[in-house]
C-alpha cells in the first residue's frame, strides 16, 4: 500500500510537468506559426526569384567569368614574363655599366698615351734633328772606308779616291778627275754597286748575311774571276748567290738548281762540282 503522502507528491510533480509541457506546447505552436510565416515568405521570395531568373543572362555571366579567369591567367603569365625580362634587363644594365666603365678607363688610358706620345714625339724630333745627323755622318764614314777598300779589290782600274759623300752618294776620283757613276762602264758600275752592298753589310749589320742576285751581270771573265776570288777570301756568316753563271760552282758549300718542268719550278740539290 502506497502512502497517500507519496501519491500526493507524485501528483504534484505530474501537475508541474504537465504545466511545463503546456508551456512548451504553446511555445512550439508559436514557433510553428513563425516558421510557417517564414516558409510562406520564402515561398513568395522563391516565386519572385523564379520569375526574375534569366537563363541567358546567367550563361552570359558564366562566359564573362570564364573570360575574366582566362584574362587573369594571361595577365599572370605576362607578369611572369615581365619579371624575367626585368631580370634580363637588370643583367644588361650591369653589362652596360661595365662597358661604360671600361670605356672610361680606355679614355683615361688614351689620355695617358697621348701624353706619352707627346713625350715620344719630342724625343723623336730631338733624335731626328740632333742624334740622327751625327749617327748618319758616323755611319757614312764607316761605310765609305769599307766601300773604298772593297771597290779597290774588285776593280781593275787604278783610282785615286773612292768613297761616299755626306749624302751617301758614290764619289770616285781617277787620275785627279772625278768620275761620276753614270760615266762608269757596266762592269765598273756593277763593281761599285757590289762594293757598296758589301760595305753596308760589313759595317752596319751584326749578322753578315749577304744576298747576291745575278752579281755577274755586265762583268767580263776577268771581273767574274776577281769577284769569285774576292768572295772566297772573305768570310761571311752566310752567303747566298742567285745566278745563271757557273763561275761560283767551286765556291759554295751547297748548290741548288732551279729549273722549270711542265710549268712548275723544281729545286734539286747538286753535288759540289756537279753539273
Higher pLDDT, 103 or 42: 103
pTM: 0.46
Q: Is the pLDDT of residue 101 over 80?
A: yes
State the pLDDT at residue 135. 64
Whether 151 contacts 191, CB under 8 Å: yes
pLDDT average, residue stretch 147-167: 75
CA angle 14, 16, 21 (to 5 degrees): 90
Q: What is d(CA 88, CA 68) in angstroms, rounded to the nearest whole number?
A: 30
State the pLDDT at residue 274. 41
CATH superfamily for 205-275 is P-loop containing nucleotide triphosphate hydrolases (3.40.50.300)
The backbone torsions φ and ψ at residue 211, rounded to the nearest 5 degrees and listed phi first, read -115, 120
Which tens digit of pLDDT belongs to each residue from 176-199? 777 787 887 777 888 888 888 888
75-89, 98-112, 136-150, 184-198: least confidently modelled range: 75-89
Cell output for 271: 753535288
Q: Is the pLDDT of residue 119 over 50?
A: yes
Q: Is the pLDDT of residue 84 over 60?
A: yes
Domain map (residue ranges) of the chain: 1-32, 91-196, 205-275
pLDDT average, residue stretch 21-38: 80
- How many CA atoms, within 13 angstroms, populate the side-chain half-sphere of residue 72? 6
Q: Where are the beta strands (DSSP E) in the chain?
A: 161-164, 170-174, 177-178, 209-213, 238-242, 255-261, 264-270
Q: Averaging pLDDT over each range in 92-96, 123-127, 140-144, 206-210, which range is the top one?
A: 140-144
Q: What is d(CA 68, CA 133) in angstroms, rounded to the nearest whole number?
A: 91
Cell output for 33: 506559426
pLDDT average, residue stretch 64-71: 79
Whether 199 contacts 140, CB under 8 Å: no
Contacts of 266 (CB under 8 A, 6+ apart): 258, 259, 260
Whether 210 contacts 239, CB under 8 Å: yes
pLDDT average, residue stretch 124-140: 67
Higher pLDDT, 241 or 252: 241
Q: At what angle do helices 221-233 and 132-154 cross, to 10 degrees?
A: 120
pLDDT band with cut points at 50, 70 and 90 for residue 10: confident
Q: What is d(CA 64, CA 71) in angstroms, rounded to the nearest whole number?
A: 10
Q: Is the pLDDT of residue 224 over 50?
A: yes
Cell output for 250: 767551286
Whether 182 contacts 198, CB under 8 Å: no
Q: What is the SS3 assignment for 221?
A: helix
Amino acid at each position: 500500500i502506497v502512502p497517500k503522502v507519496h501519491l500526493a507528491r507524485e501528483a504534484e510533480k505530474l501537475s508541474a510537468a504537465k504545466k511545463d509541457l503546456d508551456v512548451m506546447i504553446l511555445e512550439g505552436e508559436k514557433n510553428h506559426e513563425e516558421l510557417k510565416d517564414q516558409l510562406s515568405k520564402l515561398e513568395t521570395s522563391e516565386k519572385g526569384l523564379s520569375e526574375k531568373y534569366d537563363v541567358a543572362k546567367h550563361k552570359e555571366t558564366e562566359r564573362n567569368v570564364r573570360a575574366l579567369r582566362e584574362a587573369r591567367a594571361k595577365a599572370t603569365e605576362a607578369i611572369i614574363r615581365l619579371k624575367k625580362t626585368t631580370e634580363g634587363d637588370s643583367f644588361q644594365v650591369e653589362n652596360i655599366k661595365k662597358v661604360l666603365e671600361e670605356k672610361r678607363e680606355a679614355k683615361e688610358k688614351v689620355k695617358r698615351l697621348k701624353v706619352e706620345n707627346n713625350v715620344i714625339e719630342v724625343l723623336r724630333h730631338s733624335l731626328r734633328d740632333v742624334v740622327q745627323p751625327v749617327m748618319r755622318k758616323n755611319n757614312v764614314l764607316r761605310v765609305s772606308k769599307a766601300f773604298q777598300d772593297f771597290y779597290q779589290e774588285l776593280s781593275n782600274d787604278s783610282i785615286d779616291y773612292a768613297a761616299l759623300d755626306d749624302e751617301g752618294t758614290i764619289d770616285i776620283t781617277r787620275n785627279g778627275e772625278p768620275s761620276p757613276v753614270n760615266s762608269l762602264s757596266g762592269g765598273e758600275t756593277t763593281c761599285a754597286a757590289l762594293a757598296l752592298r758589301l760595305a753596308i753589310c760589313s759595317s752596319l749589320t751584326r749578322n753578315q748575311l749577304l744576298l747576291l742576285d745575278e752579281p755577274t751581270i755586265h762583268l767580263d771573265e776577268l771581273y767574274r774571276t776577281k769577284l769569285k776570288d774576292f768572295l772566297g777570301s772573305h768570310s761571311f756568316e752566310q752567303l747566298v748567290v742567285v745566278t745563271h753563271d757557273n763561275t761560283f760552282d767551286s765556291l759554295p758549300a751547297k748548290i741548288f738548281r732551279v729549273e722549270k718542268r711542265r710549268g712548275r719550278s723544281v729545286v734539286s740539290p747538286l753535288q759540289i762540282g756537279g753539273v
